[in-house]
Amino acid sequence: MSPRRPLETILFDLDGTLVDSTHLIAESWRHTMRTHFEDPPPDEVWLRTLGQPLRTQLGYLVDTAEEVQAMVDTYIDHNFREHERLIRSFPHVGETLVRLCGKGVRVGVVTSKASAGTARSLAACGLDEALFDVIVTSDEPVPHKPDPAPVRLALERLEAAAETAAYVGDSVWDMRAGHAAGVTTIAALWGPFSERELVIERPHIMLDAIEDLLGYVAAPDPSRPPA
């Protein structure tokens, strides 16, 4: 399925979409579970909530804010310590972002990750923050995915119309947030979730590779001088 109109704004999830952090996240989660539980929950518990903010994920497992904070501290300590060793780049992400910008597309990040971790992940994968016209993280004082608020906040800051915008993500939470925000939803099948898992959310477009996005954007206006 094609967008309603050629895309002028493309917003991206971070983990599992722009950066391959699944192994890093999994190892940090397992370390946290082993540290705080005698009988650690299985990976299925983590996978069901992957893509939501960390505090939300951990809040499902314990009863108090103090317990959540203790686990957040454990997770972040491990994640930052092992970050550069375990994070990976997806093929063609950087060059695709550059080509999108060259076509006049505004690009942004809308992530459930905190700003410090977001900056670290982008840098580790060689993605210059200057490529992005907007970055919305879980530090923003708005509800988070699957709520549409962070996607709408990014559109508001860009003064962009939902009708010519898309949200690209690898999780069901991304698809739900994008649908609710009224943008074109694009499932990133290069991430950890399968087509079978994502098709249930009825994304407008499903792509196997990030460079395929280039076929959905408007051609540059030859009468417009370069920026």
Q: Are residues 146 and 75 in the same domain?
A: no
Which two structure tokens, joined as six digits, stand for 124? 């580790």
Q: Are residues 101 and 136 in the same domain?
A: yes
Q: Are residues 74 and 140 in the same domain?
A: no
**Do 213 and 169 meet the contact criterion of CB atoms below 8 Å apart?**
no
Q: Are residues 58 and 94 in the same domain?
A: no
Query: How high is the pLDDT of residue 3?
Result: 64
Confidence of residue 57 (pLDDT cuts 50, 70, 90): confident
Range 10-16 average pLDDT: 97
Q: Are residues 27 and 129 in the same domain?
A: no
Query: How high is the pLDDT of residue 14?
Result: 97
Digit-coded pLDDT (tens) for 146-182: 999 999 999 999 999 999 999 999 999 999 999 999 9
Q: Are residues 195 and 165 in the same domain?
A: yes
Query: How high is the pLDDT of residue 225?
Result: 45
- Is 3 within a domain? no
- Domain count across the chain: 2
User: How many angstroms separate the CA atoms of 29 and 44, rounded?
Assistant: 12
Query: How high is the pLDDT of residue 2?
Result: 57
pLDDT more than 70, % of the chain: 94
User: How many angstroms separate the CA atoms of 112 and 169, rounded?
Assistant: 11
Residue 27 has pLDDT above 90, yes or no: yes
Confidence of residue 46 (pLDDT cuts 50, 70, 90): confident
Domain that holds residue 149: 9-20+88-216
Mean pLDDT of the chain: 92
**Active site (annotated) includes residue 13:** yes
Confidence of residue 223 (pLDDT cuts 50, 70, 90): very low
Query: How high is the pLDDT of residue 1?
Result: 56
Q: Are residues 148 and 205 in the same domain?
A: yes
The active-site residue out of 13, 20, 170, 174 is 13
Query: How high is the pLDDT of residue 5?
Result: 74
Q: Are residues 44 and 96 in the same domain?
A: no
Q: Are residues 178 and 72 in the same domain?
A: no
Q: Are residues 15 and 105 in the same domain?
A: yes
Query: How high is the pLDDT of residue 227?
Result: 42
E strand or H helix that includes residue 224: none
Confidence of residue 42 (pLDDT cuts 50, 70, 90): confident
What DSSP assignment string belongs to 61-106? T-SSHHHHHHHHHHHHHHHHHHHHHH-EEPTTHHHHHHHHHHTT-E
- Is 224 within a domain? no
Query: How high is the pLDDT of residue 172?
Result: 94
DSSP E strands in the chain: the ranges are 9-12, 19-20, 88-89, 106-110, 134-136, 165-169, 184-188, 205-207
Instruction: State the pTM of this model.
Output: 0.87
